[in-house]
Homo-oligomer: A and B are copies of this chain.
Amino acid sequence: MEDRIRIGDVSKRAGVTPRTVRYYESIGLIPPGEREGQGQHYYTEETVVRLRKITQLKKLGLSLDEISEVIDLYFTDPSGVQAKTKVLAILRRYLKETDEKIDAFQQFRSELQAHIMRFEQWLKGKGHH
C-alpha cells in the first residue's frame, strides 16, 4: 500500500472526475492532499472511501453542505461532550427528515402502483378481442 495516490487514480477509483476532487478539496469536504512544496497532491486510501461515501450520500439528495455536516461521522469521532451533543442533534434531525422522505416516497410508490394497475387493466381489456 503505497498510500500516495495521485489525483488521477483517486478520482478514477472513486468514480468522479479530478475536477470534482479539487472542488471538494477547495470547499473542505475532503482533507487536502499532501504535497512537497510546489508539487502535486497525494491522497490516501481514505480519500477514496470518503469520496465514495460522498457520492452515495449525494444520491440520497443531500447537498454538499448537508453532507459536510455528517461526513466526518464516518471517519472521525467528534471529541468532547459538547461536540457530540451537537452532532447528535443534527443526526436526529436527519433521522426525522429521512423518515418523512421515506413516507413520501412510499406514498408516491403506491400512487404509481395504482396508475400502473389501471393501465394494465385497460390494456388487458383491449387485448383479447
Which A residues are within 8 Å of any B CB, using their own CB?
56-57, 59-61, 73, 81, 84-85, 87-88, 91-92, 94-95, 98-99, 101-102, 104-106, 108-109, 112-113, 115-116, 119-120, 122-123, 126
Distance, CA A112 to CA B119, complexed state (A): 39
B104 and A102 contact, CB distance less than 8 A: no
Distance in Å: Cβ of A107 to nearest Cβ of chain B: 9
Listed A/B pairs (24) with beta-carbon separation below 8 Å = A57-B108, A60-B101, A60-B104, A60-B105, A61-B61, A73-B115, A88-B116, A88-B119, A88-B120, A88-B123, A91-B112, A91-B115, A91-B116, A91-B119, A92-B116, A94-B112, A95-B113, A95-B116, A98-B108, A99-B109, A101-B105, A102-B105, A102-B109, A105-B105
